[in-house]
Amino acid sequence: MPQEDSLDTGSRDACEPAFLIMGKLRRAHGILGEIPLELHTKMLELLNAGNIVYIGEDYKPYTIEKTRWKQPFLLLKFKGISDRTVVSQLTNQLLYIKATQLKPLPKGEFYYHDIIGLDVYEDSGRFLGVLEEILETGANDVYLVRDDTGEETLIPATMDMIQSVDLEEGRMIVSRMEWYGEGD
């Protein structure tokens, strides 16, 4: 239940973020107003020239004029900034996009921020806890679910395990996990 004094994020849902972190700006590069971005995303299409991004705690909007790689960073040049001194004021600021800038995903696919916070139940109805973290393991993601007592359950994010996801109801149904030796 939301608290009366909770911060209005502008999101459709209390647990959905209004802004998503794309990376952290580092020290200015050169004298023409470029600044390196330490990437925290794989969605590079959101950082193309012409796109609007938001910087800092006040989410000030900036339009990307051009980008280029200087490994491991993506150099950004913003419209209206062509001076090292000006762009240096953005050093160590976080760079965001609005969650509404994300493209819709195909049916059955979800962004991480959509499913973190869901209540997770076994198909028998047993409450397992809340999905708190998604671990990227290479083969498949693993969902870390924690119950009220702090006990953690790791659930492989496979089609065999995840039966349904209902964002409106805020719940995920998973198959009952069988463990070797269980019931022996």
DSSP annotation of 29: B
In sequence order, which residues have a C-beta less than 8 Å from that of residue 28 and are 6 or more positions away? 34, 35, 84, 87, 88, 91
Q: Is the pTM of this model over 0.85?
A: no
Alpha-carbon distance 119 to 156, whole Å?
16
Residue 3 pLDDT exceeds 80: no
136-158 tens-digit pLDDT: 888 899 999 999 999 999 999 99
94-137 tens-digit pLDDT: 999 999 999 998 988 899 989 999 999 999 999 999 999 999 88
Which residue did the predictor score with more confidence, 179 or 61?
61
Domains of the chain by start residue, with CATH: 19-101 (2.40.30.60), 114-174 (2.30.30.240)
Mean per-residue pLDDT, 22-45: 95
